[in-house]
Amino acid sequence: MAAINDFITNLNEEARLGKYLDLVYPTIDSLSDFEIERKSDKKSQNAGIDLQLTRKNRYEVIFVDEKAQLFYINKSLSTFTFEISYIYKKRFWSSWKKGWFFDEKKRTNTYFLITCIQGNDREEFTGFRLIRVNRKLLQDYLAQHELTEKKIFIYEKKFRSNEELYKGEQPIAEIPRSFGTFHCSFHLKERPINLKISLQALIDNRLGVELVPCTMKKY
């Protein structure tokens, strides 16, 4: 029952954050050329589409998946995790699933990384940092550094073959630690394996653009 309650709580928080973001997006200068439509139907959600951005005066559509660090309210993290794989569990069975970053069923071409989320004592959202990341650019950048999808899943298979040995943060030979690492959270129910990437590295390598800066004092 606790797991179901946690799931419902997470969905409620995401919906509440979504309403707040919908008020802020129209005020962001770099989004002023777009019509912004929130997509909440099941088909869009399964396809990794939270927002559809349509450029005004010419046909260009961007499918956005919002990724928010809702478990870290009033905290500023320097990294963001990109899901590689997880274990989907039911009561009597479980199955391996490809994470959203390489899931070919996702139509996402842009991620909105929502971090540095701020709130007050009335449980109202008051601020956030927003970084726009091009999904294909990031995947191509990793491949250019010999970290292809195939190579990543070779790592993934090795990690799952010995979860006790490879739990926690794992270095990646192909890229510097300052850019990113693997992170194996085998203590969690879904036992996810993620790519943990520096937000500043995304910006410095022109894979991400900061649309809204963090306004927290300690940043």
pLDDT > 70: what percent of the chain? 94
Is the pLDDT confidence value at 41 over 50? yes
Please state the pTM of the whole predicted model. 0.91
Task: Give the confidence band of 8 by pLDDT, cuts at 50, 70, 90.
Answer: very low
Residue of 150, 130, 131, 128 whose CA lies nearest to 139:
150
Q: What residues does each domain of the chain span?
A: 2-212
Sole residue written with tokens 């449980």: 123
Structure tokens at 173: 């030979």
pLDDT of residue 1: 32
For the stretch 151-186, pLDDT in tens is 999 999 999 999 999 999 999 999 999 999 999 999
For the sheet containing 193-198, what is the strand order? Answer: 94-98, 79-89, 193-198, 180-184, 168-170
Task: Give the confidence band of 211 by pLDDT, cuts at 50, 70, 90.
Answer: very high
Distance separating alpha carbons of residues 19 and 32, to the nearest angstrom: 18
